[in-house]
Amino acid sequence: MAISSEKSVAEGKVWSLCKLPSFWSSTNNASPSASSSSSFRNHPDNGLPGDHQPSRHNPSAKLPSMNIKSFLPTRRRLSLDPPNKLYFSYEPGKQVKSAIRIKNVTKAHVAFKFQTTAPKSCYMRPPGGILAPDESLIATVFKFVEPPENNEKLVGKKSRVKFKIMSLKVKGDMDYVPELFDEQKDEVAVEQILRVVFLDVERPCAALEKLNRQLAEAEAELEARKKPPEDNGPKIVGEGLVIDEWKERRERYLARQHVDGVDSV
């Protein structure tokens, strides 16, 4: 009997250890609807910790405003060709050229500007400008290629020199000045960071052929811009004598009418 009593006492201790806490048993005895309703009454916001939702007792409370625009990608104003690289022929000790076509793809006038990490050895032509809607031009980039150390060729390797093209929407056709980007810093967008890639002139490739073609087009555009625009207005002959073309035609017509009238008489 003593042994059986000891077993019952031991089993009772084990069960006492396995008993659930009083608050757990009380909640389990309650109905699910009652527990859910009580939890909603205790937490009127019904949100996760840290959420700021308007309470039923304070309808004037507002959700924090989120700047959704900041999460959206910036729309490109310019189209670049090549899109993210500047190709140069690898000629150590010489000044080489690259070319990139810049096109305005918006319905407004857009200003662009070049920047480089090596302003002492690189410069751009033009360094900036304003493009009308759908207008494009080919910019030429000049760079001095320093001789490598230990006669190591840099063909196909990354260069530390980088270029950046920025854009700014402007109001109509106006004269370009670099200060535009300083005056409207909040409206300036970085279009692209261009990496420098050297091409081996002894090994023709598609990139090298395209580079030479763009450089020729850039020179042709530059020569066309140098030519003075054609003036279809009044012609200046001699020392300030202005001849109106329409007046000249009228005089010839009247003279011809006079001759025809004399002949008829």
- Return the higher-pLDDT residue of 52 and 166: 166
User: Quick one: average pLDDT of 26-36?
Assistant: 47
> Counting every residue, how long is the chain?
265
The token pair that represents 189 in the structure block: 């967008």
Query: Does 250 score more than 90 pLDDT?
Result: no
User: Quick one: average pLDDT of 168-172?
Assistant: 92
**Local structure of 113: helix, strand or coil:** strand
Alpha helices in the chain (DSSP H): 2-18, 22-29, 32-42, 179-183, 206-226, 245-264
Give the other-Cβ count within 10 Å of 107's Cβ.
8
pLDDT of residue 49: 47
Alpha helices in 95-205 (DSSP H): 179-183
Query: Does 93 score more than 50 pLDDT?
Result: yes
Q: pLDDT above 90 covers what percent of the chain?
A: 41
Query: Does 265 score more than 60 pLDDT?
Result: no
pLDDT of residue 25: 47
Task: Please choose, from the candidates 201, 223, 192, 226, the residue with its C-alpha nearest in 3D space to the C-alpha of residue 100.
Answer: 192
Cα angle, residue 171 at apex, residues 194 and 177 outer, rounded to 5°: 55
